Structure 1
């Protein structure tokens, strides 16, 4: 083995990427992440094609928030998680698996619980304003990468980006 094979992946410029637990449809929830101490993402509006919601649930406190990309509060957020938060949880479970989502949010699930609705019922939080601009900005940045022409060479701004197969 070479010296670099003994170095943990955290000290390399590549990080392993975990594949989605199950395939997701991106039309309803095009962006979901476990970051900044929250499950957060972008959820498409069911009524207006030009509107999206930035939804989040804080780890530990379970404080939840949902607002439009223009920072207007979600009309369905009336003391309980709205349908956008339910959709976000469902897609996070598809992407990361229920065990990882529950562990990240620090939720105690009853035996046999596996769905986003089960997780919502186990949350103990309340409405808690959260910054939407950062999440929406990251989503837009991810979209910009889709507009790049196909190339097989490295992209300088993505030299830090996780690559599959790292650590083999």
Structure 2
């Protein structure tokens, strides 16, 4: 499997999980006001319909007609992770001037499976707790090891 390195390094505190999957840019964004709260945010490719809610499905209060700060942070971190061209192509955004978040079309609110995205995030966190081992670990066979060939 070919692994594409991140376009630029990014800090994981604000947006610990971002992915291009299921026809959406989606991820987990930390709350700016409550350290125990996270938001699951997504932007649908093509239609640019948006969704943002807490991990227990409470709607984001900032999502009123325009994109909330969680969606803006998600786009910014996705550009760092994947590069602007790849994210724009995935979301089917027309090329143009200015930041990618500003070029997104006027999508409407959509219900997306926040639980699935949050579950994938938790599964990725679980890999951080796997004890270090020099032997083969089947759960991590997908993870690229530098210099190792299997």
Q: Which runs of 5+ in 2 are unaligned?
A: none
Residue 157 of structure 1, CA deviation? 2.6
* Larger CA Rg, structure 1 vs 2: 1
Q: Distance in 1 between matches of 2:137 and 2:22?
A: 26
* 2:29 alignment counterpart: 43
Which residue of 72, 88, 112 corresponds with 1:86? 72
Distance change >3 Å, CA 120–CA 134, structure 1 → 2: farther
Equivalent position of 2:58 in the other structure? 72
Q: Decide which of 130, 137, 144 is 1:155's aligned counterpart.
A: 137
RCO higher in structure (CA 8 A, sep ≥6): 1
Preserved CA contact (<8 Å) 1:43 1:55: yes
User: Is residue 110 of structure 2 the alignment partner of residue 128 of structure 1?
Assistant: yes
Deviations 1:24-75 (A, max 9, x none): 0000000000001000000000000000000000111111000000100000
Paired residues of 2:6 and 2:81 also in contact (CA < 8 A)? yes
Contact 2:93 2:103 in 1 (8 A): no
Within the candidate set 1, 10, 18, 1:32 is matched to 18
RMSD of equivalent CA atoms: 1.7
**1:86–1:120 contact (8 Å) kept in structure 2:** no
